[in-house]
Structure 1
Amino acid sequence: MVTVVLIVLVWVFATTDGRTEDYVLPSPGSVITALGDNWSDRLASATWVTLSETLLGMALGLAVALVVAVGAGYVPLLGNAFAPLLVASQSVPVAVIGPVFTIALGYGTLPKILVVALMCFFPVAMNLLSGIRSTDPRLIDTMRSLHATRHSLFWRVRFPAALPAGFAGLRVAVTYAPVAAVFAEYTGSTDGLGYLLLQAIPRLQTDFVFALVVILTAMSAVLLLTVVALDRLCCPWTATARKENS
């Protein structure tokens, strides 16, 4: 919080007494004004469009990541086959795949959802699969000494032990998901925050651009806090371990 206050104070200092041109760096007051003046007629609907694309894309990416990671972790042969494909899925930049989706699927929401899903899929799948593979051998030996089946060994030991790693990947994914949605809107859209950015930048409406950045930052922060809360709810033992270590 102190850091945020210091940044705002420096920002105010840099934008007063004509130290910086408004079209280069608007004052915090002008950004707040632009946010308030445009919220009801432009920003509210655009924010909802981008948020919907982000949430749907995250849900799709998470679902596919769970299926792939669980399948690859449950069957090691599949894991060895899928690992190179997981890496290859990130070898094609979003800057290339976004326009391809737009050309193939049009200017609707589906291309944006797929871009967000692709962005969220990799960190969740890789972290979850890594967590499944790196389960504490002592836990596995203990369960085997109790005559645990392969099925119960996976769902009662490997998968729960991998959840913290999966949530770590999800925290990375939700941070970039809104940005991925906005970038996808850059490649072709009729609404959304990215569409408004495309209109505002050539007109040098810097205060409006900063207002859009504030909305995106708030969106990412809320999503991240939600994932952190879910992490503590689903993996309470990690919070206990952190308290014991501290």
Structure 2
Amino acid sequence: MCYYIGSELKNALRRRYVLCYVAGMIILCVLANLSMICFRTIYGMNDGAFGYNLIIFAEGVFAIPYYSSIFIADIVFGKDYPDPRIRDKATIGLSRTKLYLGKFAAALILSGLLLVIAVVGFIGITVLFQLNDGTIDALTILDFIEKVVVAIPLWVAGVAMGNMFLFLYRRKRKAFIAFFIVVLAIPRLIMFFAAEPFKLPPFTWITNILITPEFNALQFFFTMNYKKILLLGTIYTVAACAIGITGYRKKEF
């Protein structure tokens, strides 16, 4: 099993999409910092245009990695749907359940590596660009890192759901469409009817068990609920794995 996970991870790291993902993150970090500098120097804006503010703003986009988690799962998943009849040195003797969990584990490891690169890159680039404004201190960075750690169960759930849809549908187009409907469109629609001016009771209640609102709550300590985030992340992850494994085991080849 460990050999299989290592093999899947090695294959994933060799794919050009990993480099594109990292390059995209670095470019976004640089552009965000340049925009702050432009606001201060060109437009003369001094309110909310410093390094401290940029780190605070970044906490408001934690949902983006969650919505894009299927792309990371897809990097590990590969081009072809995993046929359990085709065996190699890494997969021989493994059941469909282990094949599924191996892909998921490799996707989680890859996600962890990309997360570390993203956090280190963002903080490093921001400190480098905004060194002279004097608004970034150790407490600001530690606060940001703490919120990143708290959000990990939600991102894990996103990878789990991405992996689930890739295994449920042989055609990737259907998998991606289903993912974005279930993970993005439906929760946003529910939140829309749960907010003012509607505030419909069924939707208001359902909002409490959705992952998406937790990313908004993460921005403030008085709304951030560690236990709820961990519980939701665990439930969604276990449910997604159970559904994905069941669907994969029932596939006919």
> By the TM > 0.5 criterion, same fold?
no
TM-score of the superposed pair, with normalisation by structure 2: 0.29
More helix by share: 1
Larger radius of gyration: 1
TM-score of the superposed pair, with normalisation by structure 1: 0.30
